[in-house]
Each structure stands twice: as C-alpha cells, then as structure tokens.
Amino acid sequence: MAYRELAHRKKAEQAARIPKSWTVDTSYLFKSGEKNISIVGQLTPEDGPSFWSKVLGEREIEITTGNDAIDIVDGIRERRWSAEEVTTAFCKRAALAHQVTNCLTEIFFEEAIQRARTLDQARNAHPEEPLGPLHGLPISLKDTYHVPGVDATIGLGCFAFQPSTSYSPLAEILVSLGAVLYCKTNIPQTLMTADSENNLFGRTINPHNRYLTAGGSTGGEGPLIALGGSVLGFGTDIAGSLRIPALCNGIYGFKPSSGMMPFSGQRLPFAPGWEGIGIVASAGPMASSVRACSFALETILKAGASDVDPMCLRIPWYESAELERLRNPRSLRIGVVGDDGLFTTTPPVRRAMKEAEEKLKLGGVTTVPIKLPLMLESLGVIGEMLAVNGTEYLMDLINSTGEPLIPSVEKLGLLAGSPKTMGEYFELNRKRQEIALVYSKFWVENNLDALIMPPAPHTAVPENTWASPSYTAIWNLLDYPSIVLPTGAVNERDIVDGSENFYSENDKEIYKLYDDGPSAYANAPIAIQLVANAAVYMFFVSVFRYALVLLVPLSLILSSYLYLYPVFHLCAFPAPEQDASTAYTNTLRQHLPFLAHDATKVAPFRLLALGDPQLEGESPLADPEAATFPNLAKFWKDALLLDGTNHNPLQRLRHSLHDLVEFYLDDIPNFLEVYRKRLDHIGNDYYLGHIYRTMHWWTDPSHVTVLGDLVGSQWIENDEFERRGWRFWNRVFKGGERIFDEVASTPSEDFQDTRILGEYPAAWKQIILNVPGNHDIGYAGDISPERIKRFDRVFGKPNYELRFHLPVNGTSAEGNSTGNGEDGTGPEEEKPVPELRIIIFNDMNLDTPASSTEMQDQSYAFLNDVITSSHDVDRPALFTIVLTHIPMHKQAGICVDGPFFDFYDGYFDNGIKEQNHLSQSASSGFLEGVFGMSGNPKAPGSGFGRNGVILTGHDHEGCDTYHYINQSDPPEREWRAMKWKDAVDLGVEEQPGVPGLREITVRSMMGDFTGNAGLMSLWFDEEEWDWKFKFVNCQMGTQHIWWIVHIVDLITLGVGLVYGILLAVEKLTPREVSKKHTSNGKATTSNGAPKVANGKLDSYFPEYSQMRSGKLDVPGAGKKSLRKKKSKRNL
C-alpha cells in the first residue's frame, strides 16, 4: 500500500481517537505576523486560560499546571486527586498540545482512562495494599516503544496498522510500578535528524517559535511537556536525541550512561541485533523538572531494570559519601567549556554560559575554564560509527511503500554509507578506546566533579538546518551521563556581534543562521548541558573508601533510635488531668540528672500491658536428628560396611552414591533450616526483650502484665514448655519475676491481703502478672489439668486477685474520716478508702462444650467467688481491672477478629477448638456479674455497676471497645458494643441511662504487629471521689528494624576492626622512602587550580604526534601500547 494512503488512514485514526468535545479552533494561532511567532506566548497569560478552559475544567487546569511528576504522584497518594481525574486531565491537555504542535503519533486516551479507573477501584477495594511508586502517573513514550494493541510505526508506512502484542521492557516496568501510558510521540524519519518530521504523521512544531525546529529524534516529547500535556516522558539518545529536543523546547532531558535504563525491545529502523554495535544508545527521561528526572531514574533502578532487560547493569540506586560531599557547593570543582573547538557559539548561548558560571561562583563553586581535547577526531569517529551497519536495511523499509526522504534526512547524507567490515569496525573501536583514555586522563588531571557546556552552538534553528550534534554526541561516544537544563530564552540583548574568528567554513555557515538576530529567534529557549564522568554514577570505589565514615554515624543514629525509641515516639504514661506533652516532659525529667520531676503529675498506678509474645520453639522438622547429618553417617556405614551387611562392590557404590545425594538434598537444607530457625528465635526473643526492657526503663511502670499466649502452642511437650519458659524469664523478661503464690490471693468475703498502693515499688515493678492464653493452656475443648499445672509452675497462677488501698486526704486505711468538723471535735463525714481490685482470670473455658466440666466448674467457682466477695455496687472510690485473654463478645466489623467458634469433631467431647470472642451469654454474664451492670434501672446502683476496665489479648491487631446496655430499649435490653472512639464522638459513654464499660484488647508485642506496648495510668480524683484512667499505645516497629540495626552494628564493628588491623600493619611495616623529589609538571592558577594547556593534545596524549586527514595516527602502531604517564598523584 502506498505511503500516502497509509498516512491518510493514520491521521484519520488520530482524529477519531480525540473526542470531539476536546477539539478547538487553532487557526488563530497560526496567522502570519511577528507577534504570532510563539504558540506558547499566545496561550499565556491572556489567551491561555480561555484556550485551556474550552476543554479543561478548573480542577483539570490545576492538576496540569505547575505540578511535576513528583507532585502528581504525591497528590494521588494523598487522595487530593484520583488516578482517573489526573489521567483524564492530561489526556485532554495532550489532545490540545497535539492540535497546536502535531506532537503525537499513537493516541490511546480511552484505554488509559479505563486503566486509571481500575487502579482507583483496586485501591479502594484494598486500601491496605501499598501503592506502586508511579501509581496513577500518566507517562508518555517515544513512538519506538511497544505497547500492546498500539502501532509502533517509527514514522514509516511499512509498520502502520501492525499493533504490538507485548510491552517493551521499559514500558513493562512503568506499568508494573503503577504508571498509566496514554500516548506516544512523534519522531523523524530514520530517527537520525533533529527535525521530527516523517511522511506518516508530518512535522512537529516548536511551541516557542513555530519557525524553528522542535528537535529530534525524541521530538514530540518536547512540545508535549512544554505545553503541559505530560510531566514525564521517555525516549532514547544516541547522539543527542533526548537533549536536543529538551534544548529546543525548554524542558529537562537526561541521558544516562548506557545500561542504566532498559533500552532493548524497541522498534528501530536498523537490522535486528544492532543494539550494542557502534555507539551504544541510552534510554532516558524528559520532564518538567530536574527532580522528576532523578525520580524516574531512581524508581526504575530500584525496580530492578536488569530483571526485564538483560542488557541493563545490575546497579542499585545508591547515594554514597562522595555524593554527600557533592551536595556542598564549596567542595565542587566544575569545568566550564565555552565551545567545543569546532563550532562557535551564538550570542544567546554565550550569555547562558556566562550567567550559569556566575551563579555557580556565587554559590561557592570553583569553576575552571577548559577546552575539550580531540573533538575533530571524535566527530569523525562518531559519524562513522553511526553508519557502521550501513543503510541497506533502512532503505528497504523506506522504499517498500514508496516514501521519499524528508529534507533533513536527505541533507544529512548518512544514508549513502556502506556497512563496515569487521576490520574497519575493530579500528573504529580502537580509536574510541584511545579517545576514552584521553578523556579519562583529562578528567583526573583537571580534578573535575563535572563540567558545564552548551548543548549546541546555537538555540533551536530553522527547520532542516541543524548541522552537527558534536556538543551532545561526544558524550554518547564516551558513554558519560549528561542532562540539559533550561535557563531562559533569547531576548533583545542577544545582538549579532559580527565575529569573524571561525574554526572552519562549515562553522561560519552555521553561525550565519543567527544573522537575523534575536528577532528571528524570539522566545527560543536557551540551556546548558551538565556532564559527569561515568564513574561518578554510583561511586563504588568511594563506597569502600568511605565505608567507615558512613557506617559509624549510621550505626550511632540507628542504635540511638532503637535503644531510645520511646523517647523519639514521645511515649509516656498519661498524667492525671494533664496533656500528653506534660506527661512526656515529666517522664523526661525523671532521666535527667539535674532536673526533678513533679510527683503529683505521676499516676500512682501505671500498668505496662503487653500482649501475646507467643514464643515459638524448635524447627518443626519431621526428623529430630536433621541437624546431625544422618545421611552422611549412613554414607560412611555403607562405604565401609559398618552396618554388618556384606554388599558387593557395585551395591556398595550404589548405596554410597544414594547417601551422598540424600546428604546434599536433605541433610544440608535441613541443617541450615534448623539453625536459621534457631537464629530467628534468638533474634525474636531479644527483640521482645528489648521492648520490655526499654519501655520498663523509660516509662517506670508500677506494675506489668502479659495478657496471654506467652508461648506459641499448647500442644508442646513439657520439656519444650520448660525451655520456652526459660527463654521467657532469661531473655524476654529478664529481671522480671513470677508472682509469689502467697501474694496471688483467692477471692473471699473476708479478704485479708489488701496492700497499700505505692508500697514496695521496686518489688512490684519486677513482678509479671501473667495471664493464661489459648496457646498456653488450650481452649475449652482441649484444656487439661496438666497444662494448668505447668503454667502455674512456670508463669504463675491462672486465677487470682490483688487488692490495693490508696490512703488519701480525709481517709485512713480503715476507711474512716480523719478530718474534723467545724468545731474541730468531730468527723466531717465518712469516706471509704479508694480501693483498686485487679482480677487475673482464665476465661478459656467459660463457654461450652468443654472437654472437662470439672475444670470449667472451677473457673465458674472462682468467678462466683469474685462476684460474691465484691463490695456493693454503690460503694464509691472502687475500681476493678480484669486481666484476661479472650475478648468479650462484639459484633463483626468492630474489631479485626469477628465472632467465631470452631469445635472438635468426634474427639475432646466435641469441645471448643477455637474461638475469637466469648459467647454473648458468657460476655453479658461477665459484665453483669463482675461489674454489677444491668439494663434494669431499678437494680442496685441504678444498674450502672462498678467503675473499671477490662484488658484482653488474643486479637493481635488490638481493639478499643465500649460495651453498653440501653436501659430504655423495650422490650428486651441487650448488650451492644462499638469502637471507643465512636462512643466518645457520639457521647454514648456519658449518656444517661446507658451503663457501659471500656474493654481494651492490647495489640500484640510481636514484630509483625510493630512491637506494641500498652500504657495505662490510673489515678484518684479527690474532687469527684472516684478513679480515672487513660490508656495509650507505644509501638517500636517491626522486628526487621531490630535485625537491621544490629547487623549494621556488627558490620561497623567488623569494618572498624579490619580498618584498625590495617592501620596497625601499616604502622608496623617498615618502608623505604625515595630521596628523589620529582615534580608533576602542572602549572597552577592563583587559587591552586591546575591550568589547562590551552587544549593542546600533547598535554593529554603525548603519543598523538601526527594528525592526518582527520584520523588518528599513532606512531609505531602495533608495536607499543598506549600508556598514561604516571602523575605524582598516581605514584
């Protein structure tokens, strides 16, 4: 099919993919006249808003104006915008940009909006799932990249209407990271010129000056980003294809070194297998900000580019100590290249360089004027390498549909070359390596961190007149990273200076393009190019050199955080009637040597509540001898006939080989798994112990409790239970003590063991009030007397109570008034002493069926004793704390764990196998019996019962609940529950006629649940003559933090030890010092910077003594190798 028909169909397809409501009349932008030279100028500030608002709403204009890629990602992540909103906005703006500049090739807005909608739906359905780093970000692509269902024509008719079936590796990574691909952008025919024009889609127009080129070959990205139709796009660069459009359109274009970003898998106009031959092309970002370019590179490197493109280097994103140095401007040494020695820069380019150098100096940067070596020779090598594989394949593609060459391609003359022979290609490679050696020495001799230079000798030029890419292609030849940074635009000060000092006639002809002065180049962007040595990229050598400098501060910072995490998290026991800052400040004062804390601001009862440590045991391997290499032992028996059998030699060999295979496949993995598990257990023990010890030290609790599931399984044997108990007391809760049996009292009406709260504080803060959990003794279906006994023996009684009195002004321990009447002779009134009652209760077998009715009867007997020995419900100044494991009943959705029961089938008397909550009847009986609450307003105490709180474990996520019963609900009054926060917000806890009680399920202290610790303060309010309490959580973070900090500490210790040994060896090793003093032969400037020898090649590469026909000629080639002279620094 002829290319004209294909072009007509493609343009019709483009038009059909832009909704009619998104089209505008753009004819007025292209009227003749000097004032209409700039499309951008006409769209801002007066006409711009009205132009955009014809298609975009105010919110869409806000999204697409003034935000870069990072702003967009943050806005979506923070839910300021949805992915669909953002994608729709950029699709609309891209459609407008295309209508005025013809910047797009393939348009797939509808599919992009649907993908964004899917991303939003997935996020809403699973809000807990982490978002990809590019979640919802619209990204544009150069036409060379494959996207399924979309053409990749590269502007050639022969590839039209052949949709791709898979993603290019780069596009695949972007999509996997959450990006939304929505369009592809225009390129030049052959991808080899700076004019993005082809016979299929036409020419892309420069939005700043429509008479100048938009650049190429990633030319469509430039206008699209400049007009806000994209904030981040990706293209390729082999001689300036990213940086030239960036210059022409006033945006940022970054060319990394090759192998940093995925390049393979694109459609290119070269023979298959071309990648890696000659100059190696790079993929890179174009963006509206420099930080977006950095963000793009960082994100792709972190995603593992080498996993999808084997040509990518497996290099992580890393910021070394050397990079930290480079962030200090005064430590930087920047080379300034005025021109490349081949083409003279025009006045606006010279102004851009002068302004950039002045700003660097103002910032404290040391600048050094330098000249680039071997530019003429380099340009010759570049030209030959770009045509190393000939043009036959490309011309066949063009001719297959009868396409003519576009003017810029025809003028370039590259298509006339023939393929290089293998020998010619080797010679080109030799020359490139020699040039690279010169530049390596040039970089080191001048002690450069980077250099700045123009991206071209001119700004964007009239169409079809871009002559040479020497300013950009040199860095492709050397594979150095470089970025174009826009700095302004041509203005009336950039007058023609009439220079007559040109490097060549070709230079003079190119300079003449500026003869008409700034009026012809009005609004054309100006920019600088920043170049770094390829070795600067990740500074791997510096990582080793500065390892200790990095590790010591890092280790100190991480260790300080780990061992002082409650300090950094502002953790403290709540203070009576005080705000959190006062409580924290008072806690801090306790640990400062010269400051005294205020005892009146410290609650008398401070409970450190820890949930579900669940200590696991040995690796659950089927073979208990797995760690002893049983198959290796069997090998020796079979090989040496030690097992009493008489095998013949063949049988002996067969058995022995089988044993060795089993040793390799079974023994070694099992051995490693056993010790990995043991190491994991040790680390987990000390992680849990770190939480206990750190919180115990910082917060100074008066009492400590662990709310069940002390070990990981009720099914373990007694010896394993004992081992875990040893770990509990000697690793996790080292320094803690089991409560004495004499202290753990049984409830009775004539209770004689009441203690004074605050007496013996050192002893009480070491006692651990352990609550039995299902993993300790089992549920009602499998609980047994043996498990109860071993729990009692190792951790303490499963059921008991503690009572404390708190004598305050006006009371005595006996509860009598100590005050006097007005005449000083009699008591004013009787006030009962404030009393605290703590009940530790095993609620594992409150529900039925239970396998042991005898044990269930014992639990209910204890509960009845608690109820019958309780004070009257209307007694003031009484507070009850119940510490138990299984939470009270509550409806599904209030906590992570909803109501759930499972039962044994056919054994254990079909008893309860598992449960999340108590049953509703057991829960209501508990609340009504222990706390005396009732739905009957005529009950004692009006049914409001006793003041108190329930602390439970079991639900590892934790939950804070309010249980209440509405006395006015007819005909049956039922207990209900709601989240505590909701109860406070709705005022339910203060509502008349609604008795209620707070239940706090303490989040687990396990690493998967961020190492939580609960802090409960209880104090007595003498004005209201009642107890009050507050509860807060303090979380350390996952166990990985503990591991990372200690691994870093060990590495730091190891590096420090090796470093110390090396220093000692160096000090003790005698040296011979040469008495000969030599000079490095380098002249210096007044500020100590080395002078450059005016660009003379001999100062960098003495072997180049002759230049013939623009080619490198090395005397004695083939007889001696090229060597650098050793400088004083090298010696």
What is the set of active-site residues?
142, 217, 241
Terminal alpha carbon distance of the chain? 68
Which residues, 6+ apart, have CB-to-CB distance to 973 below 8 Å? 935, 936, 965, 966, 967
Q: Which long-range contacts (CB under 8 A, 24 or more apart) does 567-573 make?
A: 567/698, 569/1034, 569/1035, 569/1036, 571/695, 571/698, 571/699, 571/1013, 571/1015, 571/1032, 571/1034, 572/699, 572/1015, 573/602, 573/603, 573/606, 573/699, 573/700, 573/701, 573/1015, 573/1016, 573/1017, 573/1032
Give the Å distances, CA to CA, from 442 to 455, 1009, 1096, 1099. Answer: 20, 56, 11, 9
- Compute the distance between CA of residue 581 and CA of residue 8 in angstroms, rounded to an integer: 72
Neighbours of 633 (CB within 10 A): 15
Report whether 877 contacts 832 (CB < 8 A): yes
HEC string for 585-617: HHHHHHCCCCCCCCHHHCCCEEEEEEECCCECC
Tell which residue, 241, 206, 226, has the closest CA to residue 462.
206
Preceding amide of 373 cis, omega within 30: no
Q: Which two tokens stand for residue 859?
A: 């639990």
- Compute the distance between CA of residue 712 and CA of residue 421 in angstroms, rounded to an integer: 72
- Compute the distance between CA of residue 671 and CA of residue 682 in angstroms, rounded to an integer: 17
Preceding amide of 785 cis, omega within 30: no
- Compute the distance between CA of residue 967 and CA of residue 275 in angstroms, rounded to an integer: 81
Preceding amide of 217 cis, omega within 30: yes
Report whether 588 contacts 602 (CB < 8 A): no
Neighbours of 938 (CB within 10 A): 8
- Compute the distance between CA of residue 698 and CA of residue 569 in angstroms, rounded to an integer: 12
Report whether 1011 contacts 691 (CB < 8 A): yes
Instruction: Strands of 186-269 (E only): list them.
Output: 197-198, 202-203, 232-237, 252-255
Give the Å distances, CA to CA, from 1015 to 415, 805, 1033. Answer: 78, 21, 6
Preceding amide of 849 cis, omega within 30: yes
Instruction: Strands of 245-326 (E only): list them.
Output: 252-255, 282-287
Report whether 919 contacts 788 (CB < 8 A): no
- Compute the distance between CA of residue 279 and CA of residue 429 in angstroms, rounded to an integer: 10
- Three-state secondary structure call for residue 570: coil
- Compute the distance between CA of residue 98 and CA of residue 89 in angstroms, rounded to an integer: 14
Report whether 743 contacts 860 (CB < 8 A): no
Q: Which two tokens stand for residue 889?
A: 């009943």
Residue with tokens 């920019």: 527
- Compute the distance between CA of residue 993 and CA of residue 981 in angstroms, rounded to an integer: 20
Instruction: Please name the amino acid found at residue 214.
Output: A
Q: Which two tokens stand for residue 583?
A: 């409580």
Report whether 510 contacts 504 (CB < 8 A): no
- Compute the distance between CA of residue 862 and CA of residue 852 in angstroms, rounded to an integer: 16
